[in-house]
A and B are shown apart, each in its own frame.
Chain A
Amino acid sequence: MIGAGVTPIAHAPVDWYAIAPEIALFAAAILIVVLRSVARHDPKVHQASMLIAIAGVAASALFTGVQWAFVHSNGPYQAMSGLVAVDGFGVFVKSVILGATLLALLLSGGYLRREHLESPEYFALMLCSATGMMLMASANDLITIFLSLEILSIALYVLAAFDRRRLSSQEAGLKYFLLGSFSSAVFLYGIALVYGATGTTRLSGIAQFLAKIVLLHDGVLFVGLALLLVGLGFKVAAAPFHMWTPDVYQGAPTPVTAFMAAATKAAAFAAVLRIFVGAFRLYDVDWRPAVFGLAVLSLLVGSIAAVVQTDVKRMLAYQSISHAGYVLIGVQAATDKGTSAALFYVCTYAVMATGAFAIVMLVARRGDDRHELTDYRGLASARPVLAGLLTLFLLAQAGVPLTGGFVAKLSVFSAAIDVGQYWLALVGMLAAVIGAFVYLRIVLAMYAPPDDEAAPEGPRIVVDAGTGVALTIAAGAIVFLGVVPGIVLDFAHAATQLLAR
C-alpha cells in the first residue's frame, strides 16, 4: 500500500507510434545480433541478416508513412512528454535517412563479400546508426539529440574501422572516434550551458522561454549556442570543423562512406534546423552571421581543396564539405523557404553522393584501394555504363540542369537571395564553378584512353545485383529530382509547414 502523502511515480505516457520507425530499425538490429549468436558460423547468417536489415528498413518506412498520413491530417504533435516530435519535418528527413540506409545496405552486401568481411554485425551496426539518425530527425529535446548523436556516432566509429586488415580503415576509425567524441563533449557542454540559461532542454520549451523573457545576461546562452554549433558543424562536416572528413571518408569502407555522407548529413542538418531555425529563431540576428561564416568557409575550403587532390574518393570527400556549405546557405536564410531548400538539398545530396561513392566502390575493386584519378582512365571504353552513371552523378553534384543538383542549388540560392544575401549566393556560385572544374577532371579522366604504361589492368569490375539495384535507384532518383522536382519540393515545403513548434 502506498502511504498517505507519498505520491506514486507518474509514468510518462509512452506513445509507441511516435517512435515506431526507430523501434522497427532497432528491433531488426537486435534480431540480427541474436541470430548471429544462435547460429554462429552458418554462412547463411550473413545473407539472412542483410535481408532482415532490408526488412527492418521497409517496416520502418511503413511506420514513417503512417506517421506522415497522421501528421498530414491531424497536424504535428509532441510525444513522450515533449522528448520527440512527430511532424512533417521529421518524416521528410526520416524518409531521406531510410532511403540512404537502403542504398548503403544494398551496396554493402557485394562489398563485404568482395572484401571477405562478411559479418552480420556490420548490418546490425548500420541499423543502430540509422536508428540514431532517425531519432535525431524527430528529436525535440537537446538531450534526445545528444543521445541520438551518440547512438549514430558510436556505431559509425566501429563501421569506419570495420576493415580490420586495412590500416587506413582503422586509422579512419580512430580519427573519427577521437574527434567525434571531442566534438560530442563540446556539444554536451553547450547543452549544459543552454540548460542553465533557459532552465529546460526541450526545444519548444526554449523557444517559449526566449519568447517570454529577454535575458539581461545572455553570455551563458550564447556560449552554449556557439558550442552547439561546433558539435553539429562537426557532424555535418562544415569548415572549420571539417578536417576529419577527408581522412575518414577516404579510409572508411566505401559503402560506409556513402552512408556517412548521405544519412549522417541529413540527420545532423535536421538537428541544426530544429535547434537554430526552430528553437532559436528569435535570436537569428545573432547566429546567422556565424552560420554565414561557416557556409562561406565550407564552400571555399571544400571546393578549393578538392582541386589539388588526385584521389577521387578524397575529392568527393572534400566536395561533401562544400555541399554542406550549400545546405548551410539554406539554413542561414532562417526562413521557411530556406528550410525547405535545405531539406531538398539534403535529399538530393544523399542520392548523388551515394551514387558517386557506389561507382568509386566498384572501381576500387578488391582491396578498396584504387581511387587514383589514373585508375579512372579508360573507364568509359571499358565500362561505358558505369562511366555514364558516374558522369551523371558528378554532373548532378556540379549542378547541371535536368539533374536534381541543379534544382537543389537553385532553391538554396533563391532562398538566400530572398533574404538579400547576395554575397552568399555569389560565393556559392563561385564554389560551383570551382567544383565543376573538379568534376570535369574526373569525367575527362574517364573518357581519356587508358594509360599504357600504367600498372597492368586490375581485375574486372564486378557489379553485383545489390549494387546494380542501388545504382539504378540512385540514377532514376537523381533524374527524377531534376525533371519533376515539384513532387519532392512540395513534400519539403509541406514538411516545413508541418514543423512542430
Chain B
Amino acid sequence: MSARNLLDLAWVIPALPALGAVVLLLVGKRIGEPKAGWLATALMALSFVASVVAFFALRSLPPDARSNVSQGFTWIQAGTFRVNFRFLVDPLSSTMTLFVTGVGTLIHLYAVGYMHGDERFSRFFAYMNLFAASMLVLVLGSSFLLTFMGWEGVGLCSYLLISFWFERNSAAVAGKKAFITNRVGDFGFMLAMFLIFQKVGTLDYSALGALPKLPQSAVTAIALLLFLGAMGKSAQLPLHIWLPDAMEGPTPVSALIHAATMVTAGVFLLVRAHVFFDLSNHAGTVVAWVGAITALYAATVALAQNDIKRVLAYSTISQLGYMFLAVGVGAYSAAIFHMITHAFFKALLFLGAGSVIHGMHDEQDMRRMGGLRKYMPITAGTFIVGWLAIAGIFPFAGFWSKDEILAKAWVSHSYALWAVGAAGALITAFYMTRQVWLVFYGPERWRDDAGLVQGSGDAHEGDEVNVGGAHGGSAPHESPWTMYLPLVALALLSVAGGFIDLPFTNQKLNVLDRWLELPEPTTVSHFSTGLVLSTVALVLGVVGILVGVAVYRNGLRRDGTDPGVERLGGFAGVLQNAYYLDAGLARFVSGPVTAFARFLSDGVDRAGIDGAVNGIAAGARAGGGTLRRVQTGLVRNYALGIALGTVLLLLYVATRVSF
C-alpha cells in the first residue's frame, strides 16, 4: 500500500469517534458505566493511531508533495456550486490531528474517572466523541465549507457539554451565552466564505495556492471577516465573554474544548487561510493588536479571580491572544507551536484543577483550599509542572513557544507588541504562582469554613455551585489512576513538548518549522538578539514567580483577605469583574434597546436583561412585542394588513408604470 493510498483513508480518523458517538447515543445506556467510557476512549486512541500512521505516511513523501486530498464524494452540487466531501492531509492538518487525538485520548481517559457516577455517563462520552469527530472534520476538511461544518459541529457539542448539567440554571445560561456569542463570529465566517466564493470561485483550499489577482479591499475584508469568526470561537476581545462562563461544564470539557482544542480552531483557521493575511496590508496588524491586548487584558483579569477554573479560563483567553499575536506578525508556525504546547500544559492545568475539585468534593473557590500538596501529591506535582510551563521557565514547553512568539514580534519590528506581550508574560507568571500557592501551599483553609470573608469576592459568587456543600468532614484525597495517569502523561509532554521546535535553525532543530513549511516573517535572526530576548523573557517569568511567592507565601491573610488583590486597591474590583466589560456590553447593547422597548410598551419582559446576550435578545423581543400587539386576533385587522400591503405594492407599481 503506497503512502497515498494510506492517506486516502484519512476519513477513518474522524469516522472512528463519529462511530463512537452514534453507538453511544443509540445504545449507550445499555452499555453502561464504565464500558461506555472505555469504548469512547478506545476509539479515540484508535483515531490517534490512525493519525500517527497518516503522519508517517505523509512524512515518507517528498517535502514538496506533502499534500493529499482524498477522493471523496460530491456532497452538494447545484449548478456551478459544488461542495466536495474530501479530506486534506498536509503537514498542518496532520499536526493538528495528532494533537487533537492525542490530547483528546488522554482527556477521555481522565473523564472515565471524573464522570464516575454521573447518571448520564454514556451521554457525556457520546458528546465528547461527537466533539472529537467534528473537530477532526474541521481540521481535515479540504474546503472552507467542510471546515465550517466541523466548526458548527464543535460549537454544537460545546453548547451541549457546557449545559451538560442543565439542572443548574447557570449552566443553561452559560450554554446560551456561548451559543449567541459564537453566532456573531460564525456570521463573520459565513460572510467571509461568501466573499471568497464570489472572488475566488471556489471554497477549496487547493485554490488558495494560486489566487487570482484580488483587490486589496477584498483581501482585507475576507481576512478580517475570517478573523471575526476566529474571535468568536477563540474568545478574543470583545467576543471572549462566553469562555469564563463556559466553565460551568464538567472539567474534562473545559480541558478538552475550552482549553486544548476547540478554542484553537480560530487560530487554525487563520493559519489555514494565511494567504489572505499575507496579501493584506493591514489585516495582520489588526489581528496582532487584538491578540496582544487580549493577552494582557485577560492576564490582568486572572489576577483577581478566586474560582480555580475561572483563573484558568482567563489564562486560556490570554494565551490565545499570544497565538493571534503570532498570526498577526506572520509567524504562523510559532502560533501552531504555541497552540500545541499550550494544549499540553493547559489541558494539564485544567485536569489538575479538576482533580483538585474532585478531591475537595466539588469545591472550586481557591480561598477555601491550601496545603493540598500533602494530600494529593501527584496532582500537585504535575500541576507545578504545568505552572512552570505556562510561566515560561526554561526548559519547559511554554518557554520555547512563548519565547518564539515574542522573538518573532521583535524581529518584525513590532516592539510595542513585544512589550505588551512581555508584560503579559510577567503577569502570567504572577497569577499562576498565586494559584499554585493558594491551592497547594500555605495553611489548610478548608478546615475552617468561617475563615472566609464573603462579599469582596467573585462577581459570580451567586452563580457558583457548591454541590458538595459541607466538606469539613472528609479530608481531600488523591484521584483514581484513570485521572492521574493523563496528568502524568501531560506533565511529561509539558516538559518535553518544547523540543519539537527549538530555535536553532542552523542545527536544524526547528523541526516543526521545517515540517509545516509555512511562510515566516523576514528573519534577520541574530543569535545574540535571540539570546538576549530569551533571557529577558526568562527573567520576566522568574520575577513574576518570585513576586508571587513573596506575596502569597503565607496564603491568604488571617482575616481572609487576599494580600495581592488587596494591594491593587480599588482596581481589584475592576479586575474581579473583568473590567465590567460583560456588564458594560450589556448596558451598551441593552440600554438603547430597552429605551426603545419601553417607548413601544412597558409590557416587554425585561426581567432577564442582565447580560449582553439578553440585550440582543431584548432587541428582538421588543420587535416581537410590537408585532405581537399588531396581531390583535381581530380578523378585520388582518384584512386591513392585507389591504395595506396591497396599497404598498400598488404604490410601488405606481413608480414603475408608464401611463
Query: Which residues of A pack against B, CB within 8 Å?
Result: 174-175, 178-179, 182-183, 186, 216-219, 222-223, 225-227, 229-230, 233-234, 239-241, 243-244, 246-247, 286, 289-290, 293, 300-301, 303-309, 336-337, 340-341, 344, 400-402, 407, 410-411, 413-414, 417, 422, 425-426, 429-430, 433-434, 436-437, 440, 444, 447-449, 483-486, 489-490, 493
Cα distance A175–B659 in the bound complex, in angstroms: 37
Cα distance A431–B519 in the bound complex, in angstroms: 39
Q: Are B646 and A307 in contact (CB under 8 A)?
A: no
Cα distance A308–B623 in the bound complex, in angstroms: 9
Q: Are A240 and B644 in contact (CB under 8 A)?
A: yes
Cα distance A437–B152 in the bound complex, in angstroms: 15
Most A CB within 10 A of own CB, among B191, B623, B638: B638
Most A CB within 10 A of own CB, among B166, B180, B639, B656: B656
Within 8 Å CB of B149, what residues of A? 401-402
The 3 A-B residue pairs whose C-beta atoms are closest, nearest first, are A308-B624, A240-B645, A243-B638
Interface stretch, picked from B267-275, B435-443, B532-540, B627-635, is B627-635
Q: Are B650 and A414 in contact (CB under 8 A)?
A: no
Cα distance A434–B176 in the bound complex, in angstroms: 13
Q: Are A440 and B152 in contact (CB under 8 A)?
A: no
Q: Are B625 and A308 in contact (CB under 8 A)?
A: yes
A396 to chain B, nearest CB (A): 13
Q: Are A433 and B183 in contact (CB under 8 A)?
A: yes
- Tell me if B642 counts as interface (CB < 8 A to partner A): yes
- Considering the complex, give the chain A residue whose CB is closest to the CB of B659: A219
Interface of B (DSSP majority class): helix
Q: Which of B78, B621, B635, B637 contacts A493 (CB 8 A)?
A: B78
A241 to chain B, nearest CB (A): 5
Q: How many A-B residue pairs have CB under 8 A?
A: 164
Within 8 Å CB of B624, what residues of A? 304-309
Cα distance A227–B625 in the bound complex, in angstroms: 30
**Do A340 and B648 form a contact, CB below 8 Å, given A305-B624, A417-B198, A448-B166?**
no
Given contacts A243-B631, A293-B648, A307-B621, 12 further A-B contacts (CB under 8 A): A179-B638, A223-B653, A241-B641, A243-B630, A307-B623, A340-B78, A400-B152, A410-B76, A437-B617, A437-B620, A489-B76, A489-B78
Q: Are B653 and A226 in contact (CB under 8 A)?
A: yes
Cα distance A195–B197 in the bound complex, in angstroms: 43
Within 8 Å CB of B641, what residues of A? 240-241, 243
Within 8 Å CB of A234, what residues of B? 642
B127 to chain A, nearest CB (A): 12
Q: Are A440 and B635 in contact (CB under 8 A)?
A: no
A428 to chain B, nearest CB (A): 10
- Considering the complex, give the chain B residue whose CB is closest to the CB of A407: B76
Q: Are A219 and B148 in contact (CB under 8 A)?
A: no
Q: Are B148 and A401 in contact (CB under 8 A)?
A: yes
Number of interface residues of B (CB under 8 A): 56
Q: Are A411 and B78 in contact (CB under 8 A)?
A: yes
Within 8 Å CB of A222, what residues of B? 653, 656-657
Q: Are B642 and A240 in contact (CB under 8 A)?
A: yes
- Tell me if B79 counts as interface (CB < 8 A to partner A): yes
Cα distance A134–B617 in the bound complex, in angstroms: 41
Q: Are B631 and A493 in contact (CB under 8 A)?
A: no
For this complex, 23 residue pairs linking A to B, each with C-beta atoms less than 8 Å apart, are: A178-B635, A182-B642, A218-B658, A219-B653, A223-B650, A226-B646, A230-B649, A240-B642, A240-B644, A290-B649, A306-B624, A308-B621, A340-B78, A341-B78, A401-B149, A401-B153, A426-B191, A429-B187, A429-B191, A437-B179, A444-B175, A447-B163, A484-B75
Q: Mark B172-194, 1 if CB is under 8 A from A, else 0.
A: 10011001100100010011001
A440 to chain B, nearest CB (A): 6
Cα distance A290–B645 in the bound complex, in angstroms: 11
A76 to chain B, nearest CB (A): 20
Q: Which of A230, A246, A402, A449 contacts B645 (CB 8 A)?
A: A230
A433 to chain B, nearest CB (A): 5
Q: Are A417 and B197 in contact (CB under 8 A)?
A: yes
Q: Which of B187, B198, B628, B638 contacts A308 (CB 8 A)?
A: B628
Q: Which of B623, B630, B635, B653 contacts A175 (CB 8 A)?
A: B635
- Tell me if B559 counts as interface (CB < 8 A to partner A): no
**Do A489 and B653 form a contact, CB below 8 Å, given A401-B149, A417-B198?**
no
- Tell me if B506 counts as interface (CB < 8 A to partner A): no
Most B CB within 10 A of own CB, among A223, A243, A425, A426: A243
Cα distance A407–B82 in the bound complex, in angstroms: 11
- Tell me if B599 counts as interface (CB < 8 A to partner A): no
Within 8 Å CB of B75, what residues of A? 483-486
Q: Are A414 and B657 in contact (CB under 8 A)?
A: no
A322 to chain B, nearest CB (A): 12
A348 to chain B, nearest CB (A): 13
Within 8 Å CB of A182, what residues of B? 639, 642
- Considering the complex, give the chain B residue whose CB is closest to the CB of A438: B620
Within 8 Å CB of B187, what residues of A? 429-430, 433
**Do A493 and B79 form a contact, CB below 8 Å, given A223-B650, A226-B646, A240-B644?**
yes
Q: Are A243 and B183 in contact (CB under 8 A)?
A: no
Cα distance A382–B659 in the bound complex, in angstroms: 66
Q: Mark B252-269, 1 if CB is under 8 A from A, else 0.
A: 000000000000000000
- Tell me if B448 counts as interface (CB < 8 A to partner A): no
**Do A304 and B78 form a contact, CB below 8 Å, given A178-B635, A222-B653, A417-B198?**
no
Q: Are B648 and A240 in contact (CB under 8 A)?
A: yes
Within 8 Å CB of B172, what residues of A? 444, 448
- Considering the complex, give the chain B residue whose CB is closest to the CB of A218: B657
- Tell me if B77 counts as interface (CB < 8 A to partner A): yes
Cα distance A410–B198 in the bound complex, in angstroms: 14
Q: Are A414 and B81 in contact (CB under 8 A)?
A: yes
Within 8 Å CB of B620, what residues of A? 303-304, 307, 434, 437
Within 8 Å CB of A183, what residues of B? 642
- Considering the complex, give the chain A residue whose CB is closest to the CB of B29: A384
Cα distance A308–B194 in the bound complex, in angstroms: 31
Within 8 Å CB of B627, what residues of A? 301, 304-305, 308
**Do A486 and B167 form a contact, CB below 8 Å, given A240-B641, A290-B649?**
no
Within 8 Å CB of B648, what residues of A? 240, 293
Cα distance A496–B382 in the bound complex, in angstroms: 64
Q: Are A305 and B658 in contact (CB under 8 A)?
A: no
In B146-164, the 8 Å CB interface with A consists of 148-149, 152-153, 156, 163
**Do A179 and B74 form a contact, CB below 8 Å, given A219-B659, A304-B623?**
no
- Considering the complex, give the chain B residue whose CB is closest to the CB of A433: B183
Q: Are A217 and B659 in contact (CB under 8 A)?
A: yes
Q: Which of A344, A400, A437, A485 contacts B156 (CB 8 A)?
A: A400
In B200-250, the 8 Å CB interface with A consists of none
Within 8 Å CB of B638, what residues of A? 175, 179, 243-244, 247
Q: Which of A218, A306, A414 contacts B197 (CB 8 A)?
A: A414
Q: Are A305 and B631 in contact (CB under 8 A)?
A: yes
Within 8 Å CB of A426, what residues of B? 191
Q: Are B646 and A186 in contact (CB under 8 A)?
A: yes
**Do A486 and B635 form a contact, CB below 8 Å, given A217-B658, A234-B642, A308-B624?**
no
Cα distance A140–B652 in the bound complex, in angstroms: 27
Cα distance A434–B180 in the bound complex, in angstroms: 9
